[in-house]
A and B are shown apart, each in its own frame.
Chain A
């Protein structure tokens, strides 16, 4: 094997108003032919910038400040734009994260493949076409001869990613940079795509740089791994050694924060916190009498259902069918059955983990419970009483307060034009939970501290906070209504591992402290194992298995659950 890529002492800088920002600092990477090298780190670690630097596509006004990039022993750093562009495709290619957006929707797969092939080699249209068909077959698309004539939207997500890989391969590059190639895919498809990448690396001896935040993916297919943080290399070495016996403190912490699939832990380890501490006046700013103790007392005072053995929520034979909307649609619209005869119950004070791939109806179930979607049949009982469906549930209905929800994306679930005080204050005002403005303010400040935010945060706007902090605010907003039942729809899948650990710890603490019943929806099996007491698995709207968490993970009964579990890349080594 010979050295394919040698990056030495690479520094990428971005000039900003406050001086230069170094996105990547003095980085070395070596990659051999046919090797898969993982770059792992949290957001802001500079992973993608490295990929851009190698592609020669650092967005303006960034630039390479120091260092050199050698491909096959030749420096490519100082190539002109035209020379560099000749290299792209021919020597280096790239795979993007989201197959939905990385193909041109208006051109057929044939047009895109043939154009790319003919761009780099002087072959006839027919030769290029047959090569394209061959490549599609190689990447696992059956019936490639007819499917090549189709448009990207006619392929499913996993198939589309195969087309993307075929496109990256069709010019026979030596090096492919894969930037989060499976993040947007379901577990089962992720497994297939990773296998494909592994297979291609071996067979065609293509070098891969695999950028990801997912330690599971890293341990699954990479030969070597570089751990990055804030643009600096923390640790590099063979994957097995780095993951099993990390020497660097950050790597150790990162590994500890990854939710484990193989055993249940009480808490997640926090990544060592060397974030810049908020300035002192920030922490000293207090509302009179506000404290986390006040918040927990206040949360416990509200009217509360006497806890007995009955389930909090009992779903019986629930059906949800979506119809195509439209005033003038004709014919028999049979609709799409998103949930089919689902029966579930959630015991008081327990966490039910709901698992399923995209399109399995997880979110539809959550929406039916909160009244955003109208089920077509079945019944939902909440605290022994039947819930009204959809718009039949009035705004004054008591269950509107008792059931609260935390959404997936904290960037879109908080209104950026309102202050945190208004956001958290809204449920208090709406449900009339505070006597006067002073008490409301005290509650807001206290509850912020309860979710481990400084009280002063209430004076700011959501965009002034990071993703993790925003999710804390979202949790605070859900809590302040004094709910008895909380729905968390993928609450951490938009967050980094370390932040995920913090939010999950917070949810665990709050759940234990207030005896909340939680419906915890996630596609991440490891997270569900850590959070849930009971598990339910949905597949295409049908409940395939439910059971106690430990027995589920030690021996799932349904074949589909077994498949899911076996295909989840795990960080155990």
Chain B
């Protein structure tokens, strides 16, 4: 267990170093940061002083070292655009994205897994085919079209749900949550569905195909031949075996949801990290982009680590080495 986890940790550190190098390279290659920061009328001498102050004249290696150690100590630097510390900006935005991500993930799991099981077991049923065709339509339409359609239907025509923003938020320390008020929850519904529908389809289809594969294996046939009741065969024997690959994909998807909620956030004007990133791109706010890149990589790495540990919990073949010889 220890060796397994430490091996994964070392791999993760390499990934993070690579990503931070890429993020750092952005500063070097996307124009002169001083020119972006200062106005036209700043004198050359002032510019030089600023350059010296910010350490931009130091050797590249030294600058990279400083960049990494700053990241490690939580010194993310300042945004070019708003002049605010990036750490604060992200902390303010992160809860919105994380909550949106979690809710959409829950939606995709709560609907996707049972639907996957159902369609695997009743392959030819009318309901199965309907579900499969509907979700196929769902997966083929781009996210922003679905978002706009939902806004039109539930926000504009029916007027049931708010169409933008987070509604009411409750502050728990620095964490602003939408979970504790009706208004907040209402505001969460449409963006979460929009973001979750793709994962839902993916989860469902994956569960379905994995389940169908497992149902054709010898050990399921053997269980049937032993007269084990079908309930246990389906939910105890087959489902657990189907979950191993499903967990990997769900993990990666969750990373993707956090990282690429950009489209959904901009359609619903959701004040999360995605929207921040979009604005940063618009204003060539390189420090924010660089930190965002590193943070997202960290999210992926952490999720992957969790997925690996889950393997460990689920699959005895990873946990226990076979007997020698």
Interface residues of A (CB under 8 A from B): 55, 57, 85-90, 92-94, 96-98, 101-108, 115-116, 119-120, 150-151, 153-156, 164, 167-168, 171, 326, 328-330
Contacts and interface: CB of A to CB of B under 8 A. Distances in A.
Nearest to A107: B237
Contacts of A154: 320, 322-323
A171 B227 CA distance: 9
B3 A88 contact: no
A87 B241 CA distance: 26
Interface of B: 3, 7, 10-11, 217-219, 221-230, 232, 236-237, 240-241, 314-317, 320, 322-323, 325
B240 A115 contact: no
B225 A89 contact: yes
Given A98-B218, A107-B237, A115-B232, A88 B226 contact: yes
B7 A105 contact: no
A103 B219 contact: yes
Nearest to A177: B225
Contacts of A153: 316-317, 320, 322
B226 A171 contact: yes
A167 B226 contact: yes
Nearest to A97: B218
A94 B322 CA distance: 26
Contacts of B7: 326, 328-330
Contacts of A97: 218
A101 B241 CA distance: 13
A93 B226 contact: yes
A333 to B, nearest CB: 12
A108 B314 CA distance: 12
A103 B95 CA distance: 45
Given A96-B221, A119-B227, A328 B232 contact: no
Given A104-B241, A164-B222, A120 B227 contact: yes
Contact of A151 (B217, B228, B320): B320
Contacts of B221: 57, 96, 102
B314 A106 contact: yes
A328 B219 CA distance: 35
B122 to A, nearest CB: 14
B228 A89 contact: yes
Contacts of A150: 320
A101 B227 contact: no
Given A153-B317, A330-B3, A94 B218 contact: no
A108 B241 CA distance: 13
Given A94-B225, A96-B222, A119-B228, A106 B323 contact: no
11 contacts: A93-B225, A96-B218, A96-B222, A97-B218, A103-B219, A104-B237, A116-B228, A151-B317, A153-B320, A154-B322, A156-B325
The winner among B222, B225, B320 for most chain A CB atoms within 10 A is B225
Given A102-B219, A328-B10, 5 more contacts: A96-B221, A104-B241, A105-B316, A108-B316, A330-B3
A101 B213 CA distance: 13
Contacts of B323: 154-156
Contacts of A85: 224, 227, 229-230
A365 to B, nearest CB: 20
A167 B225 CA distance: 10
A328 B8 CA distance: 9
A88 B229 CA distance: 10
A104 B227 contact: no
A355 to B, nearest CB: 20
A233 B20 CA distance: 72
Nearest to A55: B225
Nearest to A117: B226
A101 B217 contact: yes
A116 B10 contact: no
Nearest to B232: A115
A95 B219 CA distance: 10
B317 A87 contact: no
A501 to B, nearest CB: 30
Contacts of B225: 55, 57, 88-89, 92-94, 168
A119 B229 contact: yes
Contacts of B232: 115, 119
A97 B315 CA distance: 24
A192 B229 CA distance: 32
A106 B241 contact: yes
A103 B225 CA distance: 12
A115 B315 contact: no
A93 B230 CA distance: 16
Q: Which 4 A-B pairs have the closest CB atoms?
A: A89-B227, A88-B227, A94-B225, A151-B316
B217 A89 contact: no
Given A151-B320, A156-B323, A101 B229 contact: no
A328 B11 contact: yes
Nearest to A92: B225
Contacts of B228: 89, 115-116, 119
A298 to B, nearest CB: 47
A119 B226 contact: yes
A347 B106 CA distance: 69
A116 B224 CA distance: 10
B302 to A, nearest CB: 18
A185 to B, nearest CB: 15
A176 to B, nearest CB: 10
Contacts of B317: 105, 151, 153
Contacts of A94: 222, 225-226
A102 B7 CA distance: 32
B316 A116 contact: no
Contacts of B10: 328
A270 B227 CA distance: 43
A427 B218 CA distance: 39
A154 B324 CA distance: 9
B315 A106 contact: yes
Contacts of B320: 150-151, 153-154
A93 B222 CA distance: 9
The winner among B217, B218, B322 for most chain A CB atoms within 10 A is B218
A57 to B, nearest CB: 7
Contacts of A119: 226-229, 232
A96 B227 CA distance: 15
B284 to A, nearest CB: 37
Contacts of A329: 7
B168 to A, nearest CB: 45
Nearest to A85: B227
